[in-house]
Each structure stands twice: as C-alpha cells, then as structure tokens.
Amino acid sequence: MPEPTLQIVIASTRPGRIGLPVAQWFEERARDHGAFAVDVADLLEIDLPFLDEPNHPRLREYTKQHTRDWSARVDSADAFVFVTPEYNYSLPAALKNAIDFLHFEWQYKPVGFVSYGGISAGTRAVQMIKQVVTTLKMYALPEAVSIPFVAQFLDDEERITPNETMEQAADAMLGELRRMSDALSALRAG
C-alpha cells in the first residue's frame, strides 16, 4: 500500500518570510522520517484571492478554478502540518482564508503545527488555529514543533539549523500524525 500523503502548508506569504526556510527544514525531516509521501502547499504560490465563492463550501458548488484546484489539492492529503508564524498573537490571514475556502476536504484528517516567532514561539497562533480546525472535524495534535526566537536558527545562507529539541519534536509529531492518519482513515473512507 502506498504511504499516506502529508501536506505541509506554508502559511506565511510575506516577502522575506522565515516560513520558507522553516518549511524547507521540516520538509526534509519529514521525507527522512519516511512515514508519509510529502506534498508542500505554499500559500504564496497558490495565491488564493480572498474568499470569492458565493456558496458555502459544504455544498462543494465551486465556481472558480482556483477553488477547484485547492479543493483537489487538500482532498489528496491524509494529514497536514501547518508551518505558521504568529501575527499579532494570531494566525496569518492567508492561512485562515485558505482554510475557509473548503469544508469536507479537511475532515477527519490530523493536523500538526510547526510554529515560530518571538518568545511565544507562535504558540498563541496555534491555539487560535485549533479553534478553527476543530469546527472542520480536523484533529489537532498536541505534539508540535514550537520555535522561539526563530531568527537564531538561521545560518548565513538563511537556512534553518535545528537543535536537538526541534528534531525530536518533529519526529514525535510525525509519528503521531501517522498513527492518527491511519486511525481516521476509516472515517475518511466513509
């Protein structure tokens, strides 16, 4: 049987974003871990407009090609990791918008978080995202990678050099994501 697909969603769309090197580090870790086939969904590249569908996404009556493409992309995933900064103690608007576009595509899928920021390591944003994703019947994991003062982990080439805590946290989260993805697969099939 093929491995389930983990979709890593890059939430920051800002020029010069640290989210890109953070996601690149995590992507490499996820590929080495081996529990999942990995897909990276970069919200900057995907470039969704602000929600412009007339119908509730529960109806799946999408009128725009960008929505149909995003729907197919999220449908194809079995589990997610949101790589997210914290903006004003909350989640980036681009991530909330991308979530709001869809409904059933998210259901019965686990989600883990790689968050980063200053002293809070993005954890206040994660707490807010959890409120949103539970509405969609996603299962948010407590295991997480929380990176405080993220700039300290950037090397001269703007790549992330992780510490052992980050590596262990990533592996623990990936292991739990796989367990949860397998456990929820019966509900997704239904």
Ligand X SMILES: Cc1cc2nc3c(=O)[nH]c(=O)nc-3n(C[C@H](O)[C@H](O)[C@H](O)COP(=O)(O)O)c2cc1C
Q: Which of 12, 91, 77 is nearest to 38 (CA)?
A: 77
CB of 39 to ligand X, least distance (A): 20
CA distance 74 to 53: 17
Q: Does 19 bind ligand X (CB under 6 A)?
A: yes
105 binds ligand X (CB under 6 A): no
Beta strands of 51-93 (E only): which ranges?
79-85
CB of 74: closest distance to ligand X in angstroms? 21
Question: Residues 124 to 183: which contact ligand X by CB under 6 A?
Answer: none
Query: Alpha-carbon distance 49 to 143, whole Å?
Result: 31
89 lines the binding site for ligand X (CB under 6 A): yes
Given a contact cutoff of 8 angstroms between Cβ atoms, the answer to whether 173 and 142 are in contact is no
Q: Which two tokens stand for residue 46?
A: 């995907």
At 12, is the secondary structure helix, strand, or coil?
coil
Q: Which of 15, 45, 54, 88 binds ligand X (CB under 6 A)?
A: 88
**Taking the complex as a whole, how short is the minimal distance between the CB of residue 128 and ligand X, in angstroms?**
11
In this chain, which stretch among 24-32, 48-56, 114-122, 136-144 interacts with ligand X, using CB under 6 A? Answer: 114-122
Least distance to ligand X, CB of residue 118, Å: 3
Q: Is 118 in the site for ligand X (CB under 6 A)?
A: yes
14 sits in the region (left: phi over 0; alpha: psi -120 to 50; else beta) called beta
91 touches ligand X (CB under 6 A):
no
Q: Is 137 in a helix, a strand, or coil?
A: coil
Residues that bind ligand X (CB under 6 A): 12, 14, 17-19, 85-89, 117-118, 120
